[in-house]
Amino acid sequence: MDYLLIDEGLVRIKIPQYEKVSSKAPVFYNPAMELNRDLSVAAITAYRQRIDEDIAICDAFTGSGIRGIRYSKEIEGVSMAVVNDLNPLAVELARDNIANNGLDNVHVCREDANLLLRKCRGKFDVVDIDPFGTPAPYVESAASSLKAGGLICVTATDTSALCGTYKKPCIRKYGAKPLRNEYCHETGIRILAGFLCRTFSKYKKYLDFQFSHSTEHYMRLYALVGKGAKNTDRSLESLGYIAYCPKCLNRQVFRGLTPRIPIKCPECGETWDVGGPLWSGKIQDSDFIGSMLNNVPDLNLNTENKVLKLLEKCYEESDAPPSFYDLHTICRKLKTSAPPLNSTIELIKEGGYQVYRTHFNPNGVKTDAPLPYIEKIILKVNRDSNKTEKSIIKKRTL
Q: Does domain 3-316 bear CATH number 3.40.1360.10?
A: no
Residue 395 has pLDDT above 60, yes or no: no
Q: What is the pLDDT of residue 17?
A: 76
pLDDT in the model for residue 392:
47
Spatial contact of 309 and 319, defined as CB atoms under 8 Å apart: no
Please choose, from the candidates 190, 187, 173, 171, the residue with its C-alpha nearest in 3D space to the C-alpha of residue 138.
173
Gyration radius of the chain's alpha carbons: 23
d(CA 67, CA 90): 13
Domain chopping of the chain, boundaries? 3-316, 326-397
Whether the CB-CB separation of 239 and 256 falls below 8 Å is answered with yes
Contact 241, 277 (CB under 8 A): yes
Separation between Cα atoms, residue 214 and residue 35, nearest integer Å = 12
pLDDT tens profile 369-388 = 999 999 999 999 998 876 55
Amino acid (1-letter code) at residue 224: L
Output the pLDDT for position 23: 61
**Which pLDDT score is estimated for 388?**
53
Q: Region 6-24: what's the mean pLDDT?
A: 82
DSSP 99: H
CATH code for residues 326-397: 3.30.56.70
What pLDDT, on a 0 to 100 scale, did the predictor assign at position 61? Answer: 96
**Residue 114 CA, distance from chain mean position:** 23
Q: Do domains 3-316 and 326-397 have the same CATH topology?
A: no
> In percent, how much of the chain has pLDDT > 70?
94
